C-alpha cells in the first residue's frame, strides 16, 4: 500500500496541462501519443481558466477511423468535437458524494476522466478509476457496486481493442470481396454468353437435321430439298460468322480458371481464420505465410514479385488466426512501401538449440528513417494517406507477438528497404495460460 | 449515322475484358484497355461514346480514369463497374466522376446491355441536339432551396449567393410547399429529416424534374444507399457532414452552372435520367406528398 493514504479529492488531482479550444484535431491526436499523456483517457479544453469540455482519446480515434477522417477533420478546431458536458467535481467535495455522482453520470464504456474545479476554475484532472479506488477505501461496504463499475471499465477497454480489430477486418473484407467478385464477374458473364451461343447453334443444328431428313426421304421434291438446303446453309453460315466456334473453348477455359481462383480463395480464407479449428493450435508457419499471401494477393500482385525461401519447420503452438493477421499486416506494409514494382522475400528457419522459429519478411521498398522506425509500433502512427493507413497494423501485431512470448524486430534503411524479423517459441509455457489471448482461447475451447 | 457506336472497357483483369468484348462486339465497336494510362491514350485517339471502368486497378483507379474521361471526352457517358463498393469510390464517382451508373460485379449481362444501350442512346440524342440552336437563356435568377435544420448552412449559402433567391425549410412538406411557388435550380438537402429518410422522395422528384440539381449533405450511411442515390436519383454531389464551407460553396457553384447548362440544352437532361424504381408501397405517403407538389407545379405552369 502507498505510504500516504489519499483521502480527499485534491489528492487525486493530476496537473494536466489543458488545451485551448482552437487547437487542431491532428495536433491533439499527436498529444495523445506523447509519453506524458500515456495514461490519460481525455484532455481538458480550457479558456481563461474556465473548463469548456473534454476531448477523449476514444473520440479522436473514432474521428480518424472514419473515411477521410484525418483529411476532413484533422485541421478543425477541437472545440467542434469535444464533449461540452464533461463530468466536473469540486475540489472540496465530499469523496463519497462525488463518487456517487460520478458513478451516476458516467457514460459506459468509460472513455473520459473528470475535471476538478475550484469555484468554477480549472484545477486539474481526476481519473474515474482512482476516484473509485479512493471510494473503496472509504466505504468497504459498497464493494459490490464498485466491483461492477470496475468490471465495466475492463469491458470498455475490450471495446476499444474490438474497434481496432474491426478496422483492419474491414480492409481485409474489401480486398477479398474484390478478389472474389472479379472472377465471379467473368464466370457469370461467360456462362450467360455460352447460353446464348447454345441457343444460336442449336437452331443451326435443327436446320441441318431437317435437311438430312429431307435428303433421306425418297418422296422429297427438289424444291423441298433446295429450301432446306438454303435454310441450313444460312443458319450454319450465321454460326460460323459469329465466331462462336473459335471462342467457345477459351471461354470455358476462362470460366474454369475463375472457378479455380474462387475455390482457392475460399480454402485460404478458411485456413486464414481457422474457424473450423481450435483457437490455440499447432501450426506450420510456412502454411500460415501461404494463406496470408493468398489473402493479400490483390494488393501484393501488382507491387512485387514474392520469393519464398522456407525452411523445414516444426509446428508452433499459437493462436493461428492471430499469427496470420500479423503476417498479413507485415506483407501489406511491405507491398505498400514499394513505389512501382519490387521484391518481397519471405524466409523461415528453425533457430538451433533455442526451440524457436524465425520468420524474416524483407522488402526493397522505401525504407524508413529512424524517427519513423521509432514510432511504428505506436497505435495510430501512420505515414500513409487516408484510406490506406490506419496506423493500427503494427501495434496490434506487436501485441499479438508479445502475448505469444515472441519478439518482433525491424531493420530498415531509407531508400533500400526494410526487414521484419519475427521469432516465436515452438511451445507456450504453462504460465502462458495467464496471458489473455491464449487463456481466452483455451477457455472458449473447453 | 451508320458507324457502330464505340465502347471503351477498362479493367486490369484480361478475362473480364475478353468476356465483355465477346458480349458487345456484335452491336458495338469495342475498345479495351488493361490500365488507366492505356485507356486515356485510347480516349485521345478515338471518339468514344461510353466508358466503362473497373475501380480497383494498380496504377490508376477507376474514378481517376473517369475523371480524366470527363475532360478528354466530355460527351462520353461514364459507368463504374466494380467488385467492391467502398465508400471512397462511391463518393468519388459522384463528385469527381459524375457518373451515369454504378454497376457492381458480378453483373447481369441483360442489365448491363440495357444500361449501355441507354447510355449510347443518350449520347446520340445529345449529339443530334447540338446541331439545333441553343435555347436562349432566359434571364432569371435561379433559386436555391436549403432543406436542413441547421441554420448555419442556410446563412452561409445566402451570404455567398446574394444574387440568387435562397429559401429554406425544416421539413419536406414545407420545402415542397415553397418549391411549388419558387421552383429552385438547386436543392441542398440532408437525407435525414424529422419525418425520416427522404431518399425515396428525392428519387421521385428527380424522376419527374430532371433539371433539378441535387446536392446531398449527409452523415455517411451505408454504401448501398449511396449507390441507389446515383442510379435512381442522379444526385450531383454528396458532401459529408460536418460540411466543409469551401467544399459546399464550390459544389454549389458548379451545381448552378450545371443547372444553366441543362436549361440551355434540354437534350442533355437525358444524361441524368434515372433508373426506373419499383414503387415502394411502404412509402406511399411520401410519394403522395411529392405527387401533390408536382401537380401543383404543373397547375402553375400550364393553366389547364
Ligand atoms: N515495410 C515497411 N517499409 C517502410 N515503412 C513501413 C513498413 N512497415 C511499416 N512502415 C511504417 O510504419 C507505419 C505504421 O505501420 P502500420 O502500423 O501497419 O500502420 P499503417 O500501415 O496503417 O500505416 C507505416 O505508416 C509506415 O510508415
Ligand atoms: Mg499496415
Spatial separation of the C-alpha atoms in residues A412 and A44, rounded to whole Å: 38
* Cβ atoms < 10 Å from Cβ of A183: 26
Distance CA B191, CA B174 (A): 15
User: For the residues A251-270, what does the mean pLDDT come to?
Assistant: 86
Question: Is B16 at the interface with chain A, CB within 8 A?
Answer: yes
Question: What percent of chain B has a predicted confidence (pLDDT) above 70?
Answer: 87
Q: How far is A308 from chain B (nearest CA, A)?
A: 23
* Minimum mean pLDDT range among A259-268, A403-412, B9-18, B279-288: B279-288
Instruction: Render pLDDT for B213-225 as a digit per residue (tens, 0 to 9).
Output: 999 888 766 777 7
**Is the pLDDT reported for residue A338 higher than 60?**
yes
Tell me, yes or no, whether B97 and B223 share the same domain.
no
Greater pLDDT, A150 or B32? B32
pLDDT at residue A174 greater than cutoff 50: yes
A190 touches chain B (CB under 8 A): yes
- Whether B303 is in a domain gets the answer no
Q: What is the pLDDT of residue A310?
A: 96
Q: B238: domain range?
A: 144-297
Q: Are residues B33 and B167 in the same domain?
A: no
Q: Which residues of A215-253 are buried (b: 16+ CB within 10 A; e: fewer)?
A: eeeeeeeeeeeeebeebbeebbeebeebebeebbeebee
Look at residue B133 in the predicted model and tell me its pLDDT.
47
- The answer as to whether B260 is a domain residue is yes
Q: Read off the pLDDT band of A3 (50, 70, 90).
A: very low
- Please tell me if the CB atom of residue A422 comes closer than 6 angstroms to any atom of ligand 1: no
**Which stretch of A123-127, A196-200, B90-94, B265-269 has the lowest confidence by average pLDDT?**
B265-269
Q: Which residues of chain A have a CB within 8 Å of the CB of B109?
A: 188-189, 192-193
Q: Give the bridge partners for A422, in sequence order.
A: A359, A408
Q: Which of B202, B211, B210, B149 is nearest to B176 (CA)?
A: B202
Spatial separation of the C-alpha atoms in residues A122 and A48, rounded to whole Å: 9
Q: A24: helix, coil or strand? A: strand
The per-residue pLDDT for A53 is 93
**Claim to verify: residue B127 and residue B170 sit in the same structural domain:** no
Inform me whether the C-beta atom of residue A261 falls under 8 Å from chain B C-beta atoms. Answer: no
Query: Is the peptide bond preceding residue A109 cis, with omega within 30 degrees of 0?
Result: yes
Same domain for B148 and B123? no
Alpha carbon B266 to chain centroid distance? Answer: 15
Which residues of chain A are within 8 Å of residue B244 when distances are taken between CB atoms? 72
Rounded percentage of chain A residues whose pLDDT exceeds 70: 82
* A387 contacts in chain B (CB < 8 Å): 88
State chain A's mean pLDDT as an integer.
82
Q: Alpha-carbon distance A350 to B119, whole Å?
A: 61
As a whole number, mean pLDDT of residues A140-145 equals: 59
Dmax over CA atoms of chain B, in Å, equals 58
* Selected residue with higher pLDDT from B272 and A255: A255
Q: Which one of B70, B101, B131 terminates a domain?
A: B131
- Flag if A181 and B105 touch (Cβ within 8 Å): yes
Å from CA of A388 to ligand 1 middle? 10
The β-bridge partners of A317 are A282
* CB under 5 Å of ion ligand 2: residues: A 333, 393
Nearest CA to CA, how far is A177 from chain B (Å)?
Answer: 6
Mean per-residue pLDDT for B232-247? Answer: 83
Contact status, residue A49 vs residue A77, Cβ threshold 8 Å: no
Distance A415 CA to ligand 2 centre (A): 19
Which residues from chain A sit within 8 angstroms of residue B83, using beta carbons?
177-182, 185
What is the pLDDT averaged over residues A231-257?
Answer: 87
Give the per-residue SS3 of chain B: CCCCCEEEEECCCHHHHHHHHHHHCCCCEEEEECCHHHHHHHHHHCCCCEEEEECCCCCCCHHHHHHHHHHHCCCCEEEEEECCCCHHHHHHHHHCCCCCEEEECCCCHHHHHHHHHHHHHHHHHHHHHHHCCCCCCCCCCCEEEEECCCHHHHHHHHHHCCCCCEEEECCHHHHHHHHHHCCEEEEEEECEECCEECHHHHHHHHHHCCCCEEEEEECCCCHHHHHHHHHHHCCCEEEECCCCHHHHHHHHHHHHHHHHHHHHCHHHHHHHCCCCCCCCHHHHHHHHHHHHHHHHHHHHHCCC
> Are the beta carbons of B57 and B36 closer than 8 angstroms?
yes
Compute the average pLDDT of residues A280-302.
88
User: Does residue A142 surpass a pLDDT of 60?
Assistant: no
Average pLDDT of span A10-32 = 87
Look up residue B45 and give its three cell numbers.
485517339
**Closest residue CA from atom 21 of ligand 1:** A389
Q: What is the pLDDT of residue B162?
A: 85
Boundary (domain end) residue, out of B78, B103, B131: B131
Residue A254's H or E segment, with its range, is: helix A244-273
Please choose from A346, A394, A397 the residue to mutate so as to test ligand 1's pocket, defined by most ligand atoms within 8 A of CB: A394
Residues B110 and B35 in one domain: yes
Query: Is the same domain home to B153 and B127?
Result: no
Q: Using alpha carbons only, how large is chain B's radius of gyration in Å?
A: 20
pLDDT at B136 over 50: no
Please check whether residue A194 touches B, CB under 8 A: no
Kindly tell me if the per-residue pLDDT of A1 is higher than 50.
no
Element (H, E) at A265: helix A244-273
For residues B68 and B156, state if they share a domain. no
Q: Are residues B92 and B178 in the same domain?
A: no
**Lowest-confidence region among A160-169, A289-298, B29-38, B214-223:** A160-169
In this structure, the number of other CB atoms found within 10 A of the CB of residue A436 comes to 11
- The tally of domains found in chain B comes to 2
Separation between Cα atoms, residue A101 and residue A58, nearest integer Å: 23
**pLDDT band at B182, cuts 50/70/90?**
confident
Task: Tell whether B22 and B93 lie within a shared domain.
Answer: yes
CATH number at residue B82: 3.40.50.2300
**B304 lies in some domain:** no
Rounded to an integer, the average pLDDT of B20-34 is: 94
- Could you tell me if A170 lies within 8 Å of chain B, comparing CB atoms? no
pLDDT computed for residue A309 by the predictor? 96
Centre of ligand 2 from the C-alpha of residue A443, in Å:
30
- Helix or strand run (H / E) with residue A131: helix A128-138
| pLDDT of residue B283 exceeding 80 | no
Pick the range with the lowest mean pLDDT from A13-22, A133-142, A295-304, A435-444. A435-444
Record the cell numbers describing residue B299, joined without a space: 397547375
Q: Which chain B residues touch A72 with a CB distance below 8 Å?
A: 240, 244
Highest mean pLDDT among A20-24, A113-117, A409-413, B158-162: A409-413
pLDDT at position B210 is 80
Q: Is residue B63 part of a domain?
A: yes
Q: Of B150, B153, B155, B197, give the one whose Cα is nearest residue B172.
A: B197
Task: Name chain A contacts of B84, Cβ cutoff 8 Å.
Answer: 174, 177-178, 181
- Full strand arrangement of the beta sheet holding B77-82: B29-33, B6-10, B50-54, B77-82, B101-104
Mean pLDDT of B108-117: 93
Interface residue A65 vs chain B (CB under 8 A)? no
Radius of gyration of the CA atoms of chain A, in A: 32
Going by their DSSP bridges, the two strands A356-363 and A417-425 should be labelled as: antiparallel
All domains of chain A in start order, with CATH: 9-126 (3.10.580.10), 159-256 (no CATH), 274-445 (3.30.565.10)
A-B contacts (CB, under 8 Å): 81
Is B158's pLDDT higher than 60? yes
The x, y and z cell numbers of residue B222, run together, are 451505408
Is B45 in the same domain as B103?
yes
Contact B106 A189 (CB under 8 A): yes
Instruction: Assess whether pLDDT exceeds 80 at residue A238.
Output: yes
B70 with B112, same domain?
Answer: yes
Q: Which residue has the cell 452552372?
A: B257
**C-alpha span between B68 and A386 (Å, rounded):** 22
Of the partner residues B16, B26, B220, the one whose CB lies closest to the CB of residue A67 = B220
Is A258 within 8 Å of A215 (Cβ atoms)?
no
Cell readout for B223 is: 454504401
For cell 435561379, the residue is B142
Name the strands in the sheet holding B237-240, side by side, starting at the edge strand that comes first in the sequence: B166-169, B143-147, B184-190, B213-218, B237-240
Can you say how many angstroms the Cα of residue A155 is from the centroid of all Cα atoms in its chain?
A: 21
Q: Is residue B236 a part of any domain in this protein? A: yes
Query: Residue B302 domain-assigned?
Result: no
The pLDDT value recorded for residue A156 is: 56
Q: Same structural domain for residues B175 and B85? A: no
| Interface mutation target, options A185, A197, A304, A341, chain B, most CBs of B under 10 Å | A185
Residue A178 to residue B83, Cβ atoms within 8 A: yes
- Closest ligand to Cα A377: 1
**Stronger pLDDT, B242 or A213, i.e. the higher one:** A213
- Those residues whose C-beta lies under 8 Å from the C-beta of residue A364, and which sit 6 or more positions away, are A338, A342, A343, A416, A417
pLDDT for the residue numbered B57 = 84
Residue B139 placed within a domain: no
Determine the distance in angstroms separating the CA of B62 from the nearest CA of chain A, rounded to an integer. Answer: 14
A333 CA → ligand 2 middle, Å: 5
Average pLDDT over residues A336-352: 93
Residue of B224, B165, B160, B168 whose CA lies nearest to B193: B168
DSSP, collapsed to helix, strand or coil, labels residue A363 as strand
* Inter-chain CB proximity A80 and B242 less than 8 Å: yes
Q: Count other Cβ atoms within 10 Å, centred on residue A290.
A: 17
A417 lines ligand 1 (CB under 6 A): no
Q: How far is B85 from chain A (nearest CA, A)?
A: 8
- Which of A319-323, B205-209, B248-252 shows the lowest mean pLDDT across its residues? B205-209
Q: Is the pLDDT of residue A380 over 90?
A: no
Place B72 in a pLDDT band, splitting at 50, 70 and 90. very high
User: ipTM of the assembly?
Assistant: 0.74
B9, B12, B15: best to mutate for the A interface, most A CBs within 10 A:
B15
Look at residue B97 and tell me if it is in a domain: yes
Question: What's the mean pLDDT in B139-164?
Answer: 83
Predicted confidence band of residue B302 (pLDDT cuts 50, 70, 90)? very low
Confidence of residue A446 (pLDDT cuts 50, 70, 90): very low
A197 vs A154, more confident:
A197
Look at A83-97, A155-169, B32-46, B153-167 and tell me which has the smallest mean pLDDT.
A155-169
Between CA B112 and CA A351 the distance in angstroms is: 57
Whose CA is closest to atom 1 on ligand 1? A334
Alpha-carbon distance values, A77 to A114, A386, A420, B138 (Å): 21, 19, 38, 44
Identify the helix (H) or strand (E) that includes residue A133. Answer: helix A128-138
Whether pTM > 0.90 for this model: the answer is: no
The phi-psi region of residue A48 (left if phi > 0; otherwise alpha if psi is between -120 and 50; otherwise beta) is: left
Amino acid at each position: 500500500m502507498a505510504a500516504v493514504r489519499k483521502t480527499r479529492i485534491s489528492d487525486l488531482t493530476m496537473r494536466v496541462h489543458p488545451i485551448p479550444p482552437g487547437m487542431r484535431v491532428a495536433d491533439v491526436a499527436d498529444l495523445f501519443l506523447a509519453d506524458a499523456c500515456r495514461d490519460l483517457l481525455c484532455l481538458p479544453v480550457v479558456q481563461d481558466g474556465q473548463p469548456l469540455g473534454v476531448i477523449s482519446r476514444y473520440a479522436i480515434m473514432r474521428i480518424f477511423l472514419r473515411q477521410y477522417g484525418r483529411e476532413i477533420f484533422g485541421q478543425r478546431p477541437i472545440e467542434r468535437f469535444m464533449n461540452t458536458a464533461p463530468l466536473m467535481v469540486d475540489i472540496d467535495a465530499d469523496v463519497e458524494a462525488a463518487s456517487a455522482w460520478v458513478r451516476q453520470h458516467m457514460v459506459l464504456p468509460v472513455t473520459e476522466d473528470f475535471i476538478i474545479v475550484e469555484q468554477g476554475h480549472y484545477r486539474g484532472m481526476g481519473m474515474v478509476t482512482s476516484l473509485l479506488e479512493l471510494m473503496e477505501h472509504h466505504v468497504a461496504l459498497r464493494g459490490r457496486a464498485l466491483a461492477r463499475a470496475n468490471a465495466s471499465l475492463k469491458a470498455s477497454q475490450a471495446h476499444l481493442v474490438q474497434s481496432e480489430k474491426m478496422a483492419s477486418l474491414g480492409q481485409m473484407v474489401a480486398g477479398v470481396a474484390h478478389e472474389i467478385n472479379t472472377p465471379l464477374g467473368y464466370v457469370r458473364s461467360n456462362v450467360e454468353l455460352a447460353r446464348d451461343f447454345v441457343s444460336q447453334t442449336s437452331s443451326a443444328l435443327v436446320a441441318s437435321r431437317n435437311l438430312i431428313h429431307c435428303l433421306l426421304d425418297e418422296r422429297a421434291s427438289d424444291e423441298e430439298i433446295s429450301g432446306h438446303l438454303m435454310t441450313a446453309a444460312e443458319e450454319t453460315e450465321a454460326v460460323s460468322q459469329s465466331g462462336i466456334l473459335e471462342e467457345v473453348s477459351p471461354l470455358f477455359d476462362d470460366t474454369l480458371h475463375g472457378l479455380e481462383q474462387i475455390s482457392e480463395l475460399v480454402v485460404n480464407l478458411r485456413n486464414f481464420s481457422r474457424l473450423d479449428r481450435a483457437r490455440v493450435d499447432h501450426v506450420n508457419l510456412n502454411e500460415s505465410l501461404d494463406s496470408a499471401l493468398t489473402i493479400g494477393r490483390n494488393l501484393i500482385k501488382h507491387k512485387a514479385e514474392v520469393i519464398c525461401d522456407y525452411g523445414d519447420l516444426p509446428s508452433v503452438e499459437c493462436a493461428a488466426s492471430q499469427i496470420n493477421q500479423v503476417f498479413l499486416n507485415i506483407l501489406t506494409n511491405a507491398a505498400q512501401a514499394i513505389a512501382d514494382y519490387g521484391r518481397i522475400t519471405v524466409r523461415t528457419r528453425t533457430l538451433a538449440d533455442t526451440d524457436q522459429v524465425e520468420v524474416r519478411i524483407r522488402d526493397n521498398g522505401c525504407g524508413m528513417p529512424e524517427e519513423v522506425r521509432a514510432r511504428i509500433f505506436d497505435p495510430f502512427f501512420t505515414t500513409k494517406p487516408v484510406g490506406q493507413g490506419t496506423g493500427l497494423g503494427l501495434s496490434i501485431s506487436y501485441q499479438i507477438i508479445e502475448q505469444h512470448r515472441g519478439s518482433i524486430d525491424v531493420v530498415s534503411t531509407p531508400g533500400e528497404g526494410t526487414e521484419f524479423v519475427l521469432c516465436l517459441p515452438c511451445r507456450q509455457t504453462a504460465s502462458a495460460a495467464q496471458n489473455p489471448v491464449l487463456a481466452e482461447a483455451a477457455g472458449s475451447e473447453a | 449515322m451508320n458507324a457502330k457506336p464505340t465502347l471503351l472497357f477498362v479493367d486490369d483483369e484480361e478475362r473480364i475484358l475478353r468476356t465483355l468484348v465477346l458480349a458487345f462486339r456484335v452491336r458495338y465497336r469495342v475498345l479495351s484497355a488493361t490500365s488507366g494510362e492505356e485507356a486515356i491514350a485510347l480516349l485521345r485517339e478515338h471518339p468514344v461514346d461510353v466508358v466503362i471502368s473497373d475501380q480497383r486497378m494498380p496504377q490508376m483507379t477507376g474514378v481517376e480514369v473517369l475523371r480524366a474521361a470527363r475532360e478528354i471526352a466530355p460527351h462520353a457517358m461514364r459507368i463504374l463497374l466494380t467488385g467492391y463498393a467502398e465508400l471512397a469510390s462511391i463518393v468519388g464517382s459522384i463528385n469527381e466522376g459524375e457518373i451515369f451508373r454504378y454497376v457492381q460485379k458480378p453483373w447481369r449481362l441483360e442489365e448491363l446491355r440495357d444500361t449501355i444501350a441507354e447510355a449510347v442512346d443518350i449520347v446520340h440524342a445529345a449529339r443530334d441536339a447540338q446541331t439545333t440552336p441553343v435555347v436562349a437563356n432566359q434571364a432569371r435568377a435561379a433559386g436555391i432551396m436549403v432543406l436542413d435544420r441547421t441554420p448555419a448552412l442556410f446563412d452561409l449559402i445566402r451570404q455567398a449567393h446574394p444574387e440568387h433567391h435562397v429559401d429554406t425549410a425544416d421539413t419536406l412538406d414545407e420545402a415542397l410547399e415553397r418549391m411549388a411557388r419558387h421552383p429552385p435550380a438547386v436543392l441542398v438537402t440532408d437525407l435525414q429529416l424529422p419525418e425520416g429518410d427522404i431518399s425515396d422522395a428525392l428519387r421521385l422528384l428527380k424522376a419527374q424534374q430532371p433539371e433539378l440539381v441535387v446536392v446531398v449533405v449527409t452523415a455517411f450511411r451505408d454504401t448501398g444507399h449511396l449507390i441507389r442515390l446515383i442510379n435512381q436519383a442522379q444526385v450531383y454531389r454528396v458532401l459529408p457532414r460536418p460540411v466543409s464551407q469551401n467544399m459546399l460553396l464550390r459544389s454549389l457553384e458548379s451545381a448552378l452552372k450545371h443547372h444553366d447548362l441543362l436549361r440551355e440544352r434540354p437534350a442533355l437532361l437525358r444524361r441524368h435520367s434515372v433508373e426506373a424504381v419499383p414503387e415502394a408501397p411502404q412509402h406511399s405517403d411520401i410519394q403522395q406528398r411529392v405527387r401533390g407538389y408536382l401537380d401543383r407545379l404543373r397547375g402553375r405552369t400550364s393553366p389547364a
